[in-house]
Amino acid sequence: MTKPIERILVTGALGQIGTELVAALRARYGTERVVATDVREAPQAFRESGPFHTLDVTDLAALEDVTTRYRIDTVFHLAAVLSATGEKDPVRCWEINMRGTMNVLRTGVARGMARILIPSSIAVWGKGVPSPAPQESALKPTTMYGVTKVAGELLGDYFVRRFNLDVRGLRYPGIISAETFPGGGTTDYAVAIYYDAVRYGRYTCFVREDTRLPMMYMPDCITAIIDLAEADFASLKHHCDFNVGSMSFSAGELAASIRRHIPDFTVEYKPDERQIIADSWPDEVDDSAAREEWGWRPRYDLEAMTADMLAKLREKHARGEI
Ligand code: AKB
């Protein structure tokens, strides 16, 4: 039976997805019912917007303490080291991603929680994956981040079977947004290009022009995880590994869509070590399981996203924020 969501904890709440997910969850469930946590101290405005705690997810006692204090029944576990940062210190990536995930799952069992949401990523695949990447396929990632995401999916599914814990997850593509800049991912170029287009009218891109990856705009990213959280457990055949597609484009096509708004915009392509990671990921995913099992439907395409991103970033630029 699907238990109701009453009191929510978000880890990694100061990150790119976390900042916008916390706002969306508070609008939906009420400010006091959503406790934001992050290993970093929050800026004053964020602290004043609702309950916030600094929390290192590798510290089991601290996690148990905050979930007990607020009688948390649902966790959105976003805290993770991403792909590019993970390659700089793979041991730290494993430690934070795996210990954090295990601690959240253990706490979920100990407290009889209603729901645990753990995002996965297109990083679960490695070179040679068919296109579109099928829901069921061999997972042979070449980054430590990808290894932890595969292990995290398997661990979540294990907790569903072994402990009857309601754990759910989805494989996010690159996420594009104008609110909080992403940190340490391979797909960060698809966000940085918009910022630099607005600020400087030019961008130096760290992947080749023909690099094509699956991407998603933030409003769809937020809808996806909340819709998955609210789906009836009985209708789910999969649990922690849903493919979710939205759009797919090359870096060159992204630049062209910006150029339709900023005709003089120029891009120089200087691939660095992140190119190898990008080349190992699929360029498209088959998300029919998410569509069938919990009604996934993305709203934004590249043109709609570009218009919205540029409008938002131009406002920020005018206010002197970027
Ligand atoms: C990254 O680039 O590491 C992330 C991801 C695709 O999971 N944005």
- pLDDT(92) > 80: yes
- pLDDT(229) > 80: yes
Q: Give the residues across from 111 on adjacent strands.
A: none
- pLDDT(321) > 70: yes
Tell me which residue of 261, 265, 271 sits closest to 205, measured CA to CA: 271
Q: 122 CB less than 6 Å from ligand 1? A: yes
Report which DSSP code applies to 235. Answer: G
Ligand 1 atom at minimal distance to the Cα of residue 82 = 3
Taking CA atoms only, the protein residue closest to ligand 1 atom 4 is: 185
Span 245-258, average pLDDT = 98
Count of H-run helices and E-run strands, the chain: 13, 14
Q: What pLDDT is recorded for position 56?
A: 98
Span 54-65, average pLDDT = 98
| pTM beyond 0.95, yes or no | yes
- pLDDT(52) > 90: yes
Tell me how far CA of residue 286 lies from CA of 11, 44, 85, 142, 278, in angstroms.
Answer: 28, 41, 27, 21, 18
Q: What pLDDT is recorded for position 59?
A: 98
Q: 207 CB less than 6 Å from ligand 1? A: no
| Digit-coded pLDDT (tens) for 200-219 | 999 999 999 999 999 999 99
Residue 300 annotated in active site: no
Percent of the chain scoring above 90 in pLDDT: 99
Cβ atoms of 206 and 187 within 8 Å: the answer is no
Taking CA atoms only, the protein residue closest to ligand 1 atom 1 is: 185
| Digit-coded pLDDT (tens) for 156-195 | 999 999 999 999 999 999 999 999 999 899 999 999 999 9
Q: Where are the domains of the chain?
A: 8-174+216-243, 178-215+247-283+300-318
Q: What pLDDT is recorded for position 147?
A: 98
Span 69-85, average pLDDT = 98
* Kind of pairing between the strands at 34-38 and 115-117: unpaired
Which amino acid, 159? F
Q: How many Cβ atoms sit within 10 Å of the Cβ of residue 95?
A: 14
* CATH code, 8-174+216-243: 3.40.50.720
Give Cβ neighbours of residue 54 (< 8 Å, ≥ 6 apart).
Answer: 37, 38, 39, 40, 41, 42
| Catalytic member of 29, 145, 194, 203 | 145
Farthest-apart Cα atoms in the chain, separation: 58
Cβ atoms of 97 and 145 within 8 Å: the answer is yes
- pLDDT(105) > 90: yes
The confidence band for 1, taking pLDDT boundaries of 50, 70 and 90, is low
- pLDDT(9) > 70: yes
The confidence band for 2, taking pLDDT boundaries of 50, 70 and 90, is confident
139 three-class SS:
coil
Percent of the chain scoring above 70 in pLDDT: 100
Span 121-138, average pLDDT = 96
- pLDDT(74) > 90: yes
Q: 123 CB less than 6 Å from ligand 1? A: yes
Q: 187 CB less than 6 Å from ligand 1? A: yes
- How far is 18 from 39, CA to CA, in rounded Å? 12
* CATH code, 178-215+247-283+300-318: 3.90.25
Mean pLDDT over each residue of the chain, to the nearest integer: 97
